[in-house]
Amino acid sequence: MTEPKTPVREGSLEAPTRHAVDWKNPIFYDEADLFNELERIYDICHGCRRCVSLCHAFPTLFDLVDESETMEVDGVAKQDYWKVVDQCYLCDLCYMTKCPYVPPHEWNLDFPHTMLRAKAVKFKKGEVSARDKLLSSTDIVGSLAGIPVVSGVVNLANRMGITRSVLQGVLGVHKNALLPEYHSNTAQKRLAKHQTTISPEATDQTSGQVAIFTTCYGNYNAPDIVDDMLAVFEHNDIGVTAVKKEVCCGMPKMELGDLNAVEQAKNSNIPALIKMIDEG
């Protein structure tokens, strides 16, 4: 009598194992190897289709398959694989909430990490537009657009049809797309000026203080969010300060596949955060 086989466990029945992105290994940028992996995971996803409602990456893939001659992944032109990659904004939802084939499942399917790898390959090949490089430099754009007077001009221009048409022509930003306002009185300036009356009290588990990492959006575009956080914390007698040295978190550069820029941002932010944590 043969022994019964141990059933394969679904990956997402427990916390998934996340393998580190091996982005400094030369094989990571090998396009042929990448396309083999893309074909493998696209084929699994085509047979599953569970993530169809999450974002536009999956419907793009399934349309490409359904409209191909074979109605299988082998009927999709390799060049069209990029269309799926371009639709992924790396939110991680498919990995964290849907996919039964994430590691430790033997199929070892990590859709977002594979999209990230494809974006990094594209960036390294220089196939990223100047527009994308500019728009993903959120800290530089924010610091320029947030200069007093300039911010008013930028906000006015963003509301005018004629300048929006120019913006659409030059940068490809749709003239009807909602754009955030820019503030010269940034969240970091407000936090620096804020006079607190709170005397934080440490507990067994906390120092009774928080440091706010404002982010580019919170700092330049929506400082009122940071004002609100400050009010809520102080209402609860929690002392608030700003992170002393903050640069962009790097997420826009990650979506671009510019992993060196992400590493630079990380190397600047993490020591500043750790220092503040160590100081309480």
Give me the least distance between CB of 38 and ligand SF4, in Å please: 12
Q: Are 153 and 123 in contact (CB under 8 A)?
A: no
Measured CA to CA, the distance from residue 269 to residue 168 in angstroms comes to 34
Give me the least distance between CB of 180 and ligand SF4, in Å please: 21
Asked if 115 interacts with ligand SF4 (CB under 6 A), we say yes
Asked whether the bond before 104 is cis by omega within 30 degrees of 0, the reply is yes
Asked if 76 interacts with ligand SF4 (CB under 6 A), we say no
Nearer to ligand SF4, 92 or 224 (CB): 92
Q: Which of 21, 44, 128, 229 binds ligand SF4 (CB under 6 A)?
A: 44
Asked if 96 interacts with ligand SF4 (CB under 6 A), we say no
Which uninterrupted H or E stretch holds 242?
Answer: strand 239-242
Asked if 55 interacts with ligand SF4 (CB under 6 A), we say yes
Residue 78 exposed, middle or buried by CB count within 10 Å (0-12, 13-18, 19+): exposed
Nearer to ligand SF4, 92 or 106 (CB): 92
Q: Which of 64, 85, 112, 183 binds ligand SF4 (CB under 6 A)?
A: 112
Nearer to ligand SF4, 91 or 147 (CB): 91
Give me the least distance between CB of 226 and ligand SF4, in Å please: 27
Of the listed pieces 98-106, 189-197, 243-251, 261-269, which binds ligand SF4 according to CB under 6 A? Answer: 98-106
Asked if 244 interacts with ligand SF4 (CB under 6 A), we say no
Longest dimension (CA), the chain: 83
Asked if 51 interacts with ligand SF4 (CB under 6 A), we say yes
Give me the least distance between CB of 65 and ligand SF4, in Å please: 12
Which uninterrupted H or E stretch holds 231?
Answer: helix 223-235
Asked if 92 interacts with ligand SF4 (CB under 6 A), we say yes
Residues from 254 through 273 that contact ligand SF4 (CB under 6 A):
none
Other beta carbons within 10 Å of 222? 17
Select from 103, 125, 136 the least CA-distant residue to 15: 103
Asked if 89 interacts with ligand SF4 (CB under 6 A), we say yes
Measured CA to CA, the distance from residue 23 to residue 121 in angstroms comes to 10
Give me the least distance between CB of 255 and ligand SF4, in Å please: 10
Amino acid at 278: D
Asked if 116 interacts with ligand SF4 (CB under 6 A), we say no
Q: Are 103 and 17 in contact (CB under 8 A)?
A: yes
Asked if 238 interacts with ligand SF4 (CB under 6 A), we say no
Other beta carbons within 10 Å of 149? 8
Task: Give the long-range contacts of residues 75-79, CB within 8 A, separation 24 or more.
Answer: 76/42, 78/35
DSSP designation for 216: H
Task: By CB under 6 A, name the binding residues for ligand SF4.
Answer: 44-45, 48-51, 54-55, 57-58, 88-94, 98-99, 101, 109, 111-112, 115
